[in-house]
């Protein structure tokens, strides 16, 4: 819609660009007019993307024809004239064009807060919340009407932090249940599994890792040190917490210290280091031979978008899989952010990148403010493989049964995220499965798709800050599935890519490459046969899954609804 004119200039509002407030945030004042601000503008595509399900939905990996990055950029990048128009807009408003990536459809602008306010027709204020300090806009962002439909999204005006992963505190959770090779064997990774010539991208929002932890970890497994490198996104560096802070965090985990005895900032920094290190160690150990690329980005909506976009468009090897262990309730994100991140996830699928996203650790209610279940985004995107969590019950390194992860941790209930999207419709590949109605009625995308070990009582041994501790949460499941995809791609000599629809097709067939999880609940939904809103289709039987992906089904399969 057209916004009121500024002088002789008619402006157009950008849909979905109002601030999504956090419950409990407090206003502290106006943003300093001289503060330096950098924003990312996402422009329209040269041409629309083909419908993803019809392109890849029920095709086996060997039958898929993924676009190259070059071909994708030519067909779906920004229009040259649109870039010229944005440059003119920047000049007229005293903004600097910092970078242009036409293949990513992005233009980065920099300038003062005062200039940004005039350019986008908004005010800017500073807020405080338990997540931290951040900037937000007042009013709805707009652009001159000649940029109507040219500029689709502006990221960076708001710096509202994304939801943090909940802490895992519980006595004895530091005692691991098994090692990575034992877990690999229990889940059916082939004895000589490897992911040679594959690349796995890990999306991390802040934090970092210590090289010496990785050296010690892989030495303990008698595995060669993998190829690991980190990439800065928007200037963020590899900044792991010091070993003494990690020890304080682990002291809380073990019950040697009370939560109140360790400063909040120390706990946050240490946990971030634990989680980044866990992602690296699990992905690299489960996919030997793979290159691990760690994208370290700001903990903001702009940071997540830029990290995923960079991972699938940067020079060098295109990742076979991305692992994302971050997210927050759909009800708490802006419409513009949700749309643009879902688009870049769709881009990844078109290029043959499997995006594995953790479904969250706070159960079905997931911190809901309206008393109804809510799922996390980006786990709810239909373009990702959404990864829920299980509790493993086993003996001598073998799984005897699995249940939906749901346990009490220092009085805090942690459980696998799962439920039904309030935003996304039921995708075609879930149509033959029983997905419960949305909380307010109607049908939606069911979350998660699959599961893996998330219970810290039955976690996998990792090394952080020089100490051996246990993996935990659905943030340990996403790198497991990313590693599985890397091994499958290496074995099949092709890209699995958008594998989610295929998993639903295989679950309905005779191969049975997933172990159904029928016990337990996540605080609202109950596990059960087929698909369920706690653990999806179940956990992987890796060797069986790779074999099922290798052999196309019968010729009539394309006529079946999946």
CA–CA dist 287, 130 (Å, integer)? 37
For the chain, the first-to-last Cα distance in angstroms comes to 39
Q: Is the peptide bond before 378 cis (omega within 30 degrees of 0)?
A: yes
DSSP secondary structure code for residue 260 in this structure: G
CB 117 within 8 A of CB 125: no
- List 279, 281, 402, 449, catalytic entry: 279
Element (DSSP H or E) covering residue 217: helix 211-220
d(CA 189, CA 191): 6
Q: Under a CB-based contact definition with an 8 Å cutoff, are residues 326 and 207 in contact?
A: no
**Which tens digits make up the pLDDT trace of 333-345?**
889 999 999 999 9
- Report the distance separating Cα 106 and Cα 288, nearest Å: 35
pLDDT at 5: 41
Are the C-beta atoms of 522 and 417 separated by less than 8 Å?
A: yes
Q: What is the pLDDT at residue 57?
A: 82
User: Are residues 375 and 417 in contact, defined by beta-carbon separation less than 8 angstroms?
Assistant: yes
Catalytic, out of 13, 82, 275, 362: 275
- The mean pLDDT value for 168-180 works out to 64
Least confident segment among 278-282, 413-417, 418-422? 413-417
User: Quick check: is 390 catalytic?
Assistant: no
DSSP codes joined into one string, 96-162: EEEEEEGGGTEEEEEEEHHHHHHHHT-EEEEEEETTEEEEEEES--EEEGGGTTTEEEEESS--PBP
Q: Is the pLDDT of residue 500 over 60?
A: yes
Angle at 457 between CA 454 and CA 463, to 5 degrees: 80
d(CA 317, CA 270): 31
Is the confidence at residue 143, as pLDDT, over 70? yes
**Is residue 455 annotated as part of the catalytic site, yes or no?**
no
- β 151-155/450-453 pair status: unpaired
Query: Among 60-64, 166-170, 512-516, whose mean pLDDT is lowest?
Result: 166-170
For each of the domains in the chain, give its residue range(s) and CATH number, in order of start. Answer: 2-44+79-155 (no CATH), 180-559 (3.40.50.200)
- Residue 8's pLDDT band (boundaries 50, 70, 90)? low
Mean pLDDT, rounded, for 482-499: 96
C-alpha to C-alpha distance for 336 and 342, rounded to whole angstroms: 10
DSSP 416-442: ---EE-SSSPPPGGGTTS-PPPPTTSS
In DSSP terms, 376 is beta-bridged to: 329
* pLDDT one-digit tens code per residue, 219-246: 999 999 999 999 999 999 999 999 999 9
CA 368 to chain CA centroid, Å, is 20
Give the Cα separation of 456 and 461 in Å (integer): 10
Helix-strand-coil percent breakdown of the chain, rounded to 5?
A: 30, 25, 40
Poorest-confidence range of 29-33, 48-52, 125-129, 156-160?
A: 48-52
User: For residues 251 and 403, which has the higher predicted lDDT (pLDDT)?
Assistant: 403
The Cα-based distances of 561 to 58, 346, 349, 384, 442 in angstroms read 9, 22, 21, 20, 21
- Check pLDDT > 90 for residue 310: yes
- Pick the more confident residue, 457 or 501: 501
Residue 279 among the catalytic residues: yes
Looking at 313, 380, 475, 539, which residue is catalytic? 475
- Are 157 and 116 in contact by the 8 Å Cβ rule? The answer is yes
The whole-number pLDDT of residue 515 equals 96
Query: What is the residue-averaged pLDDT of the chain?
Result: 90
Q: How many CB atoms lie within 10 A of CB 172?
A: 11
- Residue 316 burial by Cβ neighbours in a 10 Å radius (0-12, 13-18, 19+): exposed
Indicate the pTM of the whole model: 0.94
pLDDT above 90 as % of the chain? 72
Kindly report, residue by residue over 467-487, the tens digit of the pLDDT: 998 898 999 999 999 999 999
**Which stretch of DSSP H or E encloses residue 228?**
strand 227-232
Range of lowest pLDDT (77-81, 259-263, 324-328): 259-263
According to the model, what pLDDT value does residue 169 have?
44
Other beta carbons within 10 angstroms of residue 139's beta carbon come to 16
């Amino acid at each position: 819609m057209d916004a009121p004119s500024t002088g002789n200039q008619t402006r157009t509002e950008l849909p979905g660009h109002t601030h999504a407030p956090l419950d409990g945030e407090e206003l502290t004042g106006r943003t300093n007019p001289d503060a330096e601000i950098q924003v990312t503008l996402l422009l329209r595509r040269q041409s629309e993307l083909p419908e993803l399900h019809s392109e890849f939905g029920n095709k086996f990996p060997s039958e898929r024809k993924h676009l190259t990055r070059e071909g994708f950029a030519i067909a779906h990048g920004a229009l040259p004239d649109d870039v010229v128009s944005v440059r003119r807009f920047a000049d007229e408003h005293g903004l600097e064009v910092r970078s242009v990536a036409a293949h990513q459809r992005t233009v980065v602008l920099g300038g003062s807060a005062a200039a940004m306010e005039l350019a986008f027709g908004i005010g800017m204020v500073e807020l405080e919340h338990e997540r931290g300090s951040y900037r937000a806009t007042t009013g709805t962002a707009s652009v001159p009407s000649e940029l109507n439909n040219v500029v689709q999204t502006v990221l960076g005006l708001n710096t509202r932090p994304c939801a943090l992963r909940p802490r895992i505190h519980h006595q004895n959770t530091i005692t691991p249940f098994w090692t990575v090779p034992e877990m690999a064997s229990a889940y059916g990774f082939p004895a000589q599994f490897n992911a040679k010539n594959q690349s796995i991208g890990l999306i991390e929002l802040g934090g970092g890792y210590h090289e010496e932890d990785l050296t010690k970890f892989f030495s303990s497994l008698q595995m060669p040190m993998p190829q690991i490198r980190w990439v800065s996104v928007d200037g963020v560096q590899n900044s792991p917490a010091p070993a003494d802070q990690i020890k304080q965090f682990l002291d809380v985990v073990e019950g040697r210290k009370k939560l109140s005895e360790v400063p909040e900032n120390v706990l946050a920094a240490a946990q971030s280091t634990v989680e980044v290190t866990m992602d690296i160690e699990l992905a690299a150990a489960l996919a030997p031979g793979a290159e691990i690329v760690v994208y370290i980005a700001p903990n903001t909506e702009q940071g997540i978008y830029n990290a995923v976009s960079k991972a699938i468009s940067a020079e060098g090897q295109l990742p076979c899989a991305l692992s994302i262990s971050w997210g927050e309730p759909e009800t708490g994100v802006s419409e513009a952010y949700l749309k643009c991140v879902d688009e870049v996830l769709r881009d990844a699928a078109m290029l043959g990148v499997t995006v594995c996203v953790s479904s969250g650790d706070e159960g079905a209610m997931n911190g809901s403010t309206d008393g109804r279940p809510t799922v996390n985004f980006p786990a709810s995107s239909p373009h990702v493989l959404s990864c829920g969590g299980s509790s493993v019950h086993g003996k001598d390194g073998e799984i005897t049964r699995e249940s939906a992860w749901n346990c009490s941790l220092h009085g805090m209930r942690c459980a696998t995220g799962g439920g039904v999207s309030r935003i996304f419709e039921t995708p075609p590949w879930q149509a033959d499965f029983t997905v419960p109605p949305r909380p307010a009625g109607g049908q939606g995308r069911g979350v998660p798709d699959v599961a893996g070990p998330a219970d810290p009582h039955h976690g996998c041994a990792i090394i952080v800050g020089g100490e051996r501790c246990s993996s935990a949460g659905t943030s340990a499941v996403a790198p497991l599935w990313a590693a599985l995809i890397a091994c499958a791609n290496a074995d099949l000599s092709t890209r699995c890519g958008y594998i989610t629809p295929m998993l639903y097709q295989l679950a309905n067939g005779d191969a049975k490459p997933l172990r159904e999880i029928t016990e337990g609940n996540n605080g609202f939904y109950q596990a059960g046969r087929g698909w369920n809103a706690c653990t999806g289709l179940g956990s992987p039987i890796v060797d069986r899954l790779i074999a099922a992906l290798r052999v196309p089904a019968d010729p009539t399969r394309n006529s079946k609804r999946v």
